[in-house]
Amino acid sequence: MKQLFLAAMLCIAFISNAQTLGYNDIGVLFSSENINGTARYNAMSGAFGALGGDLSSIETNPAGAAVFLKSEFAITFNIEDIETTSNYYGTNEFSENSNANISQSGGVFVFNNNYNRNSNWGKIAIGFNFTLANDFENFWIANGNSNYPTWIDDPNDENILYLNSDGQYFENLTDGSNNKYTFTFASEYNDNLYLGASISTYDIEHYQQTLLEENNNDGNGNNLDASLIQELLTFGDGFSFNLGLISKPNDNVRIGLAYKSPVWYRLSEDYLDYDLEVYVSNTDELITDYSGINKFDYNLKTPSKFTGSFAYTFEKQGLISVDYIYKNYSDIKLSKSNFSAENSSFKSDLESTGELRIGTEWRFDNISLRGGYHIEKSPYKNALDSDSIEGYSLGAGYKFRGGKLDFSYQNSSNTGAYNFYPQYNQVNAAELNIDNSKITATLVLNI
């Protein structure tokens, strides 16, 4: 018991490093949604706010449900590949993670107003759509030597100091998803105005396990190897609502406006503070300590979102579409406990962001070719330009009697930093280069 107590006292600084995500990073992560929908939507980089007529587009602008000419059902599969290259004090490590999912499924039902021909209100549409709003599955490692040992004391011998660093090793494993379910009602007015509203519910689960290893020596043949595992499971549910309109000033121009409310999450967490092992060679002893699982409940409010959209159609030959999305990440708020420091950090460290999406589609009989580009600014005030997510997309579709098949390829990249020694200004964060690619296939059936 004396050894365990002494080890615990000596390793406070080591285990106080928050390798798992803190509440501020969780707030940013849960406020983000990927471009993840039907293959047609993905192929045009999600630039659908003024177009409608696609099941994923109604999550951007619910008025788009009334653009459908007939009822349909769609289901989407995708394969995602994430490549992460970490650089920690000059050492590069490459990690790759692949996963496959059903990323979208849903349907829209269109009812024509054939009962009152004197009314300016036309068809009514009711839709339901499931979307994998965010897939958290990933794994990457970092390895290198900062030449700054953080554990320098021997748990058994106060005369031995481990002042020389042999290196550090870090693993980050994440899993889980954010599942979104959207119910939409929309209607057409006077053949040139579409109005819609939707309610979305969320089922979210995020798991993270980190491993930090530090190897030090005293210069006289004695070694100390410390290993720390932390785990964080965050889960809960949430809801939001969305309002939108699409206007057709003439036969070629489409203008869209949409407002999405904050998502109000109720979250719980199970947290493993530390699972610690320390090996000291001078006594050939392995010292272990385990904190047990802690539980905590809290609420999270994400920022609201505004989307302005413009599209120009070239009769039935093709179209060009542009979306601009505004979101103020400093409006993130945590509650149900004392989060004054975290909420102040949201205000001081985060800012509003803009996301630009551009998409195009061209039709050749039953075949459609598509492409897109998007860029989303990082919400952190001190972020580098390369931390912005930037990417392109390509796709094609084939229309057959009773439905269509669509395919897309997306690629995006960005940089980032992960600091697994946040308590030590002397130790730099690991620099990450992230490349994300996704192949999507959608089957659409007319109902």
Picking from 237, 86, 265, 101, the residue whose alpha carbon sits closest to that of residue 175 is: 101
The neighbour count for residue 151, using CB atoms within 10 Å, is 21
- The rounded distance, in Å, linking the Cα atoms of 43 and 49 is 14
Rounded Cα–Cα distance for residues 112 and 109 (Å) = 10
Q: Which amino acid belongs to residue 301?
A: K
Domain segments of the chain: what residues? 2-446
Give pLDDT, residue 114.
64
Rg, Å, the chain Cα set: 26
- For the domain spanning 2-446, the CATH number is 2.40.160.60
- pLDDT tens across the length of the chain (447 residues): 444 444 444 455 565 565 899 999 999 999 998 999 999 999 999 999 999 999 999 999 999 999 999 999 999 999 999 999 999 999 999 999 999 999 999 999 999 876 666 778 889 999 999 999 999 999 999 999 999 999 888 888 888 999 999 999 999 999 999 999 999 999 999 989 999 999 999 999 999 999 999 999 999 999 999 999 999 999 999 999 999 999 999 999 999 999 999 999 999 999 998 899 999 998 999 989 999 999 999 999 999 999 999 999 998 899 999 999 999 999 999 999 999 999 999 999 999 999 999 999 999 999 999 999 999 999 999 999 999 999 999 999 999 999 999 999 999 999 999 999 988 889 999 999 999 999 999 999 998
